[in-house]
Structure formats: structure tokens, C-alpha cells
Amino acid sequence: MITSKQNETFKRLLKLKKAKYRNQYQEALIFGHDIVEEALKTNKVIQLISTFPHGKNLVFSKDLMDALSDYEMKEPIGAIVSLKEEVLEYKGNVLMCDTIQDPRNLGALIRSAHAFGFHKIIISKSSADPFHELSIRTSKGSIFHVKIEICDLKAPIETLKREQYTIIASSHLKQKVQLKPQHPVALILGNEGHGISDDLITLTDITLHIPTSGVDSLNVSVAGSILMYTLSE
């Protein structure tokens, strides 16, 4: 059992709480039985960690395990997971996130994308980190069942257009389109406060608006879920 904060393995894992080290090492920490079980269904798990010995688990004292998470840990089990992505051809629907700031919104969108068949998610560099602990928790492990790409969005939009994708934007404009696309779609969702940036709006084929009664707009994760469900029918 590892009990010292000076232990090199502990110090390395502690760094994974910061995005720059997750990017550098291409690894992240996850916690909780349900999320670990989802990760184990893939090839992402590098090492299980816990406060109790079991198989080849890396065992930490409770205080060190608590220090590895920013949130209350009800289940003393977690894992180190790989963030490396296999390069695979993908022709299904795509979700694109433009400057989504709240990791909880991002996690909820990832879960909905998994549920409605948008199994590739392209996230702008200006968005929250999808591998932030709060995003992973909110996704309930769905993040391990979709392909995540983090980059500026303009180039992949242009690539998708060449591949005959219909580029769709969620908009506050009072416009409602009845849509049954003949090609795969790429749905762009924008920032919680400002929406989609103007330079991306100009690249879209269609804008969609969700009519509401009594409120001006919906939370981006709610709106995105409605649109993904509608487009997946």
C-alpha cells in the first residue's frame, strides 16, 4: 500500500488533475464502480487503483486516494485510463462543440451523443476539457464509447463538407426546419452564453431552432440532446 505523499507514483498521478499533464501523458484518472466498469469494456484501462488489495490493483491509503480526486469519493476504486485514440475511419453522425465552457454540459452532451449514435465528437480547443473529472462523471462513462477529437473546428467542418456531410447549427434564430437528411450530419453546438462563433455559422448548411414557450432558450446540453434525438430518428 502506498501511504506517502512523496511516493513518485502518487506524485505523478496527482499531476493528472491538471489538463496540461493529462495532455502530456495522454492519461487521466477516473473514479467510481460504474465509470470504471464502462472503461473496462474498452481497451482504455491502464491500471486499476483502490484503497484495498485486489488482483493487480495499485493500492493507496484512503487519504491519498481522496487527494487524487477533487470530489467526494463514495466508492474507493478508480483507474488510470489512456487518452490515446485509434485512427479509424468513421462515417456516422458527428457532434461538434464550439467553446462549451462547463465540463458538466460537455459530459452530458457526450452521454447523449453516445445514446443517439453521434459516436464521434469534435471539441474546440477553447472548450472545457472532456477528460476533466466532472465531465467524465457526468458522462457516466460514455466518454469511453465515443471518439473524441480536440482541435480548431474550421478545418474538420470543411473536410466533412467534402465528404458530403450536412453541416447543421443550433441557432437562436426563429427558424424551424423539418429535416430528414439524406447524408450523415455534423451538428454544431455553441457556447452557453454566446452561441456558435460567426466564422463557423458561415460554414453551415442549415440552422435549427427549438421553439420554446415561457423561456428564451434551453441549456446547451438539453438543446443538444433534443436535436441529436431528432436527427437520429
CATH of the domain at 55: 3.30.1330.30
User: Which grid coordinates belong to 46?
Assistant: 491502464
Q: Are residues 169 and 192 in the same domain?
A: yes
At which of 52, 82, 112 does a domain end? 82
Q: Is residue 50 part of a domain?
A: yes
Displacement of CA 88 from its chain's centroid (Å): 18
Q: Are residues 38 and 145 in the same domain?
A: no
* Residues 15-40, mean pLDDT to the nearest whole number: 94
The total number of structural domains in the chain stands at: 2
pLDDT recorded at residue 132 = 94
Rounded Cα gap, residues 179 and 181, in angstroms: 6
CA dihedral 132, 86, 58, 56 (to 10 degrees): 150
Q: Are residues 103 and 145 in the same domain?
A: yes
Residue 60 has pLDDT above 80, yes or no: yes
At which of 61, 82, 103 does a domain end? 82
User: Domain containing 27: what range?
Assistant: 8-82
Q: Is residue 102 part of a domain?
A: yes
Band the pLDDT of 191: cuts 50, 70, 90.
confident
At which of 54, 82, 110 does a domain end? 82
Rounded Cα gap, residues 189 and 204, in angstroms: 12
Model's pTM, two decimal places?
0.90
Q: Are residues 121 and 27 in the same domain?
A: no
Q: Are residues 168 and 218 in the same domain?
A: yes
Residue 78 has pLDDT above 50, yes or no: yes
pLDDT recorded at residue 176 = 47
pLDDT recorded at residue 64 = 94
Q: Are residues 211 and 128 in the same domain?
A: yes
Query: Among 57-71, 140-154, 170-184, 197-211, whose mean pLDDT is lowest?
Result: 170-184
Q: Are residues 109 and 76 in the same domain?
A: no
Band the pLDDT of 13: cuts 50, 70, 90.
very high
Q: Is residue 15 part of a domain?
A: yes
Query: Among 33-37, 88-92, 204-208, 223-227, whose mean pLDDT is lowest?
Result: 88-92
Rounded Cα gap, residues 45 and 208, in angstroms: 38
Q: Are residues 131 and 179 in the same domain?
A: yes
User: Which grid coordinates belong to 27?
Assistant: 492519461
Q: Are residues 126 and 213 in the same domain?
A: yes
Q: Are residues 114 and 199 in the same domain?
A: yes
Q: Is residue 165 part of a domain?
A: yes
Q: Is residue 140 part of a domain?
A: yes
| Residue 21 exposed, middle or buried by CB count within 10 Å (0-12, 13-18, 19+) | middle
Q: Are residues 123 and 52 in the same domain?
A: no
Helix (H) or strand (E) holding 108: helix 103-115
